[in-house]
Amino acid sequence: MDITEFSKPANKPAPGPVLGIETSCDETGVALLRWEPEAPGRGLLAHTLYSQIKLHADYGGVVPELASRDHVRKLLPLIREALAEAGLTAQDLGGVAYTAGPGLVGALLVGASAGRALAWGLGVPAIGVHHMEGHLLAPLLEDNPPEPPFVALLVSGGHSLLVEVKAIGQYTILGDTLDDAAGEAFDKTAKMMGLPYPGGPALAKLAEQGRQGAFRFSRPMTDRPGLDFSFSGLKTQVLLAWQQSDQSEQTRADIARAFEEAIVDTLIIKCRRALQASGAQRLVIAGGVGANRRLRNELAAAGVKDGFQTYFPRLDFCTDNGAMIALAGAIRLASGQHQDMSVQVYPRWDLQTLPAA
Instruction: Please report, in range form, the residues annotated as the binding site for Fe cation.
Output: 131, 135, 320
| Residue 310, beta-bridge partner list | 283
Longest dimension (CA), the chain: 69
Between strands 27-33 and 44-51, the pairing is antiparallel
Q: Is residue 341 within 8 Å of 116, Cβ to Cβ?
A: yes
Going by DSSP bridges, is the β-strand pair 150-155/44-51 parallel, antiparallel, or unpaired?
unpaired
Distances (CA, A) of 71 to 65, 81, 153, 183, 272: 10, 15, 28, 23, 39
Burial letters 185-199, b for 16+ CB under 10 A, else e: bbbbbbbbbebebbb
Residues 6+ apart with CB under 8 A from 340: none
* Separation CA 311–CA 190 (nearest Å): 28
Buried b or exposed e, range 259-286, using 16+ CB within 10 angstroms: bbbbbbbbbbebbbbbbeebebebbbbb
Q: Which residues are annotated as a binding site for substrate?
A: 154-158, 187, 200, 292
d(CA 90, CA 229) in angstroms, rounded, equals 44
DSSP assignment letter at 210: S
CA distance 315 to 153: 15
Residue positions forming the annotated binding site = 131, 135, 154-158, 187, 200, 292, 320
28-59-190 Cα angle (round to 5):
95
